A and B are shown apart, each in its own frame.
Chain A
């Protein structure tokens, strides 16, 4: 027994030594590549892998090659907890990029925090995510911010004084967005004449819209995802509403125009980045992404790409793979990314600008950039 134990101990020591001198480091990625949010997970994975490939082509980080371990979370919190444990305990990753949906990130974040593994969620917008602990960062702006920017744009650019909002009662994202829009719009001095929720999965919104239009709003805030937005827009136009429509990044899909057609014209939405912007970062990213995947990158791919760049830059600045040092480097970072220049605030949320995109002639056109 004693002999067996000493052999085991020796093996563990050898393993530890060999790991310490290894010429590679492992970066973990998490995303829902199967399940209801599979397209989100797919984009996230592609953005993440592209960024790592670009870094490896430049010689890796700290003289080491970057290996990746990407795990599927199925969009399920329990599965999320499992894969975070796997990446940290089994694959021994130095940092994690992930994951997409807030409910899953919230199950994974406490595990990363307890293990002192820094992580950046590319797209989890729930405020509570980064409040889990000081190792948890995110690359996207949060829901209240999008609502605030939307309100600012409506009040200052569109010169609206009366607004109305419609949202999905069963979806935290759309509810949160509409709430923050209402708060910000009223703080600017406007009035919100109607604030109506509809049940999840509804296809007929006329009851809510009729009530909304009685108040004669000058702008209609629709915080739903693109498929519902198209239906709401059509029905609002049928009921005689002619004013502008406004929304959040849930609108970002090529299908919006296909489904909504004429009705979504004169529509605006806040987004993380505009693919037709002309900064050098966007140009390189879009070109490389197209070459590799034969598709225009969406915001999810851009944010995963940015998150990976932020993390690798932090590792480079920290000159170490130690979790605490990477965390400090991340907190102090100031990097120009695809989605704008990123710094982190005290709650590890990025301070950055939002792009406003207009639907014009059946196309998404970059309109302006709004700072909070």
Chain B
């Protein structure tokens, strides 16, 4: 019993949560900053789960937002129906969490269905298949009238809040971290390093690739569900190719295979994109130059190019911070 310690990651997470919650309650962080924090946390889920597929298992997926769309639409449809039947239901938050998990499960199911046929492909070919999958999802949503078609799914109740999103992000990190450091994760890493060699030592590569795909899709679905309940609308155009590319950029900017890097990149790039808004506005006000919001994306893209030029391996490379590593128990 002496050796039973409070896990390090949990301790940091609780501290992080407490500080942010305190800043929010005292009003130091206004609703705007908390909104960006919430968005960053949703991106943490997306980036870490894509990193499991792209970085850890070495399968190049370009359809991550397609899974998020499945989660968003399934959970959004469920909660809107429940909301209509019984508004102000005291059990609403429980039903919401159930709906989010169902959304994630639906995305995982789709991930398995897509995974079996397409994971026989490698590299570029897999990228094209997943890209196609993402577009199929988007087009399907555009054509299903029940979920609003091109109008989008409207009237989703606002259930997502900082606490729920934070817990979801924390669980994603823990699950992916523990998975990577288990024998299953080692098998995934071996497939990334050399699939033929992995097969020769008895790793069932199809099984592990599909497993990585399903788990990644599950968390992407959760992220989509949380996003839909944060901004109260789900629209097909949100889940297109560009959305998937943004998540992919975060994976690469953070470092392929590094969970720490994914978390840093998700927070860093989300805050950068918003911070530039304020920087450019105040720059325009101070100098009187005719620069407006449209320059924000130019600077953002330039900064990304510089990250990739000077740190090709991403911010963290494939290293992890110490808090991400499971500590060895002494006997």
Contacts and interface: CB of A to CB of B under 8 A. Distances in A.
Interface of A: 8, 12, 33-34, 38, 45, 69-72, 74-78, 80-82, 85-86, 88-90, 102-103, 106-107, 110, 126, 128, 169-172, 175-176, 200
Given A38-B294, A90-B30, A128-B154, 8 more contacts: A77-B235, A81-B232, A86-B32, A88-B31, A89-B31, A103-B233, A128-B151, A172-B152
Given A70-B292, A71-B277, A85 B32 contact: yes
Given A128-B154, A169-B143, A107 B294 contact: no
A78 B231 contact: yes
A72 B231 contact: no
Contacts of B317: none
A173 B274 CA distance: 30
A106 B149 contact: no
Interface of B: 26-28, 30-33, 35-36, 39, 139, 142-143, 149-152, 154-155, 158, 227, 230-233, 235, 237-238, 274, 277, 281, 292-294, 296-297
28 contacts: A33-B292, A33-B293, A34-B296, A72-B277, A72-B292, A75-B237, A76-B237, A77-B152, A80-B231, A81-B231, A85-B32, A85-B35, A88-B32, A89-B35, A90-B30, A90-B32, A103-B152, A103-B233, A106-B232, A106-B233, A110-B158, A126-B151, A128-B154, A169-B143, A170-B139, A172-B152, A176-B151, A200-B142
Query: Top 5 A-B pairs ranked by shortest CB distance?
Result: A72-B293, A89-B31, A89-B32, A172-B150, A81-B231
Contacts of B139: 170
A1 to B, nearest CB: 12
B35 to A, nearest CB: 4
Contacts of B158: 110
Say what secondary structure dominates the interface of chain A: helix
A325 B229 CA distance: 30
A13 B212 CA distance: 53
Say what secondary structure dominates the interface of chain B: helix
A23 to B, nearest CB: 17
Contacts of A80: 231
A137 B58 CA distance: 50
Nearest to A81: B231
A77 B239 CA distance: 11
B294 A106 contact: no
Nearest to B142: A170
B277 A86 contact: yes
B36 A170 contact: no
Contacts of A71: 277, 293
A65 to B, nearest CB: 14
